[in-house]
Amino acid sequence: MKSWSRGVVRLIGALNLVYFVLGLVLLIEDIVRAAPTIQNSMEFPYERTIYVLMTSISGFFLVGLMFSGYWLLRLLRRGVVLSNFVFSLEILYFLLSDLISLFMIMSANRVAKSIGLSLANVNGDAGISLQIITCYPLIALIVLNIARRRMNRDGNWKLAPAKSS
């Protein structure tokens, strides 16, 4: 009898690759459309820098999603480890970016306030926005770890190919 956990792990791997492709399309579209119009101003002096930083972070998350999806499709344990890492960081990033922006805006320091305003004004999360809207990181994190536990019990993991020296 085949274990349901293998199918779930592969499904999460396929969804990771789908979210990677969709996120990449959104990220490229955002860079082509919005990046040329983003400029620093007196009101938002750090807008361009924060946009580049947030877009880069979004790109790194997408690359992690691509590798984890590929490894999960091959039923390799490192896919689960990377998925857990990427999903946890995405959730943390989403929560902290808004909180940091809020606290900086409320700061009495002028520089911190202008950084907070720039952070609140910029949307550099186009690559991961679809994941955040659908709560995919949270759902996939829970489902993947339930399937991982089952696969650990059943011994369904494939071994990574040995490196030849």
Question: Rounded to the nearest 5 degrees, what angle is found at the Cα of 74, between the Cα atoms of 78 and 160?
Answer: 55
Q: How far apart are CA 98 and CA 100, in angstroms?
A: 6
Burial of 71 (0-12, 13-18, 19+ CB in 10 A): buried
Q: Are 125 and 101 in contact (CB under 8 A)?
A: no
Note down pLDDT in tens along the chain; length 165 residues.
367 888 899 999 999 999 999 999 999 998 898 877 877 777 778 888 888 888 999 999 999 999 999 999 998 989 999 999 999 999 999 888 888 888 888 888 888 888 888 777 777 788 888 898 999 999 999 999 998 888 877 666 665 555 655
- Quickly count helices (H) and strands (E) in the chain: 6, 0
| CA pair distance 139, 141, nearest whole angstrom | 5
pTM for the complete prediction? 0.85
- pLDDT at position 97: 85
Residue 16: name the closest of 113, 139, 156 by CA: 139
What is the reported pLDDT for 160?
53
Extract the tokens encoding 7: 């199918």
Closest CA to 113 of 57, 43, 54, 53: 43
**Res 1: pLDDT:** 36
For 140, list phi and psi in degrees, rounded to 5.
-65, -35
Dihedral sign of CA atoms 147, 149, 150, 151 in order? positive
- Give the per-residue pLDDT at 121: 77
